Structure 1
Amino acid sequence: MARLSVYDPFAEVFPELFRGMLQPIRTPGGEALEIKVEVKESNGDYSVQAEMPGVKKEDINVQIDGNRVSISAEVKRESEQKEGERVLRSERYYGAVARSFTLASEVDESRASANFENGVLKLTLPKKAAPAAKRLEIK
């Protein structure tokens, strides 16, 4: 049986440059930085839970544009171990992570709310009321 393989023209020219480009960002400790999202829909709103461990509340940004929701965060981690006055190990990590998704209905931004606790971002996104049908009078 013949084996199929995908030809990658960049693999020969730039073998290390594009490798792992679409994989999640990893911290020096090895954990992946990604936003895991759970979206639920009820009659009048959407409920979103986004897991963001290790992220500070001040570093989270949520944007709503019609029915598109974007969540992004910037992660800054610094760790330094000292023994007396000599630095034995110093680690710094800076990275950004983002997630966007589209909902079936538009969101009423004025009534939306967000809460962040224990590494979980909870969004309550009320649906925007659909405009009532208007009958045009023919003249």
Structure 2
Amino acid sequence: MSNMTRYDPFSMEGVPDLFQGLFRPLRGVIGGEEGQQAVSIRLDVTESDSAYTVKAELPGVDRKDIDVKIDGGQVSIAAKIERDAELKEGERVIRRERYAGSVSRSFTLATDIDDAAASAQYQDGVLTLTLPKKAAASSRRLEIG
């Protein structure tokens, strides 16, 4: 008795490595330069009773090129990443993988933020935001007279 196998036309088995990425969708080529992938800001968000703490990785970014906006419970972080593209005489670029351009990230927190008391620090490529929660507005019942 012979072993029979079902043919799967979408199987990548047997496809040479050269064509492996051909059938995958393009993932955010930016600025028209081939090989540059979209860069995202990686975040850690922690919560305590009184505040949120956000740590965002922004390596190689100058602190003056970082912009943070707070609107209620929505936080937006934007940064401009610049790379020195100056070549010395006799040098030529063989491969360029480091991203240069703008990145941004927005997210919404469960409670509104007291933007007047919020603070930010940037050290060693990590932006740390301390976002105090707004005091919940107390509700009261009106007596009908």
**TM-score normalised by length of structure 2:** 0.70
Q: Does 1:126 align with 2:122?
A: no
SS at match of 2:113: coil
- Structure-2 change in CA distance of 1:138 and 1:117 (3 Å): same
Which string of whole-angstrom CA distances, capped at 9 and with x for unpartnered residues, describes residues 28-57 of structure 1?
Answer: 997863211000000100011001111110
Max Rg structure: 2
Partner Cα separation in structure 1 for residue 117 and residue 37 of structure 2: 35
Unmatched runs of 5 consecutive residues or more in structure 1: 6-17
Percent of aligned positions with the same letter in both sequences? Answer: 46
The structure carrying a bigger strand percent of its residues is 1
Structure 1 residue ranges, 4+ long, deviating more than 6 angstroms after superposition: 1-5, 27-32, 90-93
2:13 corresponding residue in structure 1: none
Q: Which moved more, 1:90-99 or 1:127-136?
A: 90-99
**Count of aligned pairs between the two proteins:** 123
Unmatched runs of 5 consecutive residues or more in structure 2: 1-5, 11-24
Query: Does structure 2 retain, via aligned residues, the 8 Å contact 1:77–1:94?
Result: yes
Q: Does 1:64 align with 2:70?
A: yes
Which string of whole-angstrom CA distances, capped at 9 and with x for unpartnered residues, describes residues 104-128 of structure 1?
Answer: 1110000000000000000000000
Question: Could you say what the CA RMSD is over the residues aligned between the two structures, in angstroms?
Answer: 3.4
Partner Cα separation in structure 2 for residue 4 and residue 107 of structure 1: 53
SS at match of 2:84: strand
**TM-score normalised by length of structure 1:** 0.73
Superposed counterparts of 1:1-139, under 5 Å = 19-21=26-28, 33-82=39-88, 86=89, 88-89=91-92, 94-139=100-145
Query: Does structure 2 retain, via aligned residues, the 8 Å contact 1:80–1:87?
Result: no
